[in-house]
Amino acid sequence: MADTQFVLASASAARRSLLVDAGIQPFVCPSNFDEDSVVIRDPAQLVQALAQGKAETVAPQFPNALVLGCDSVLAIDGVIYGKPESTAEAIARWRQMRGGSGELYTGYALIAPGREALVRCRMTRVFFANLSDREIEAYIATGEPMHCAGAFATDGKGSMFVEKIEGCHTNVVGLSIPLLREMMAEVGYNAIDFWSR
């Protein structure tokens, strides 16, 4: 158990950075899981199914490792939003979000050696500033929102435009570190044992 590898089944630089900052050096192995194959209207169920699909796609390559899959979406008035597909879509979304709030859902699937996937979800409410059209267009022009669920990043320039967060901050970035610690304990691992690697 002491030499168990930690594998992140995601290409997200933000998730990797959160793990490294928390003392866990992950091996990054993007899953290439077909996200379009999952069609679920409930945001919590959707992100959990996507996270599980990613983890289960990668886990067979690493039978002796802890494998983590994650996925995030933003829900506004019951409508689910992932990464914007165009700048026009990102601008329209920010015009809808400004001055309001949304619910950021992140799903987690952790697979330990010899065990089924442990699947969880965490939701954080995000309150957005009332941006001008100029601010929205300038932010979209940076390219940052194009790589993020909900078209914003709280760990970058988008931090200027988030007025308040209710819940776990790192969940919005892409990975709730406190929840990960709980999940690791649930499958028999202590997160601090990964600090010295």
In-domain check, residue 17: yes
Total domains, the chain: 1
The structure's pTM equals 0.92
Quickly state the pLDDT bin for 197 (edges 50, 70, 90): low
Nearest CA to 149 among 98, 85, 84?
Answer: 84
Residue 114, Ramachandran bin (φ over 0: left; ψ between -120 and 50: alpha; else beta)? left
**Length of the chain in residues, anyone?**
197
In-domain check, residue 62: yes
Q: Is the predicted pLDDT of residue 39 greater than 90, yes or no?
A: no
User: Which residue carries 């601090």 as its tokens?
Assistant: 192
Quickly state the pLDDT bin for 6 (edges 50, 70, 90): very high
Q: What is the pLDDT of residue 1?
A: 53
Question: 86-111 burial, b if ≥16 CB within 10 A, otherwise e?
Answer: eeebbbebbebbbeeebbbbbbbbbb
In-domain check, residue 27: yes
Element (H, E) at 74: strand 66-76
In-domain check, residue 105: yes
Active site residues: 71
Q: What is the pLDDT of residue 97?
A: 95
pLDDT mean over 124-145: 97
User: Domain range for residue 28?
Assistant: 6-194
Q: What is the pLDDT of residues 157-183, one digit of tens each?
A: 999 999 999 999 999 999 999 999 999
Q: What is the largest CA-CA distance in the chain?
A: 53
Give the CATH number for residue 90: 3.90.950.10
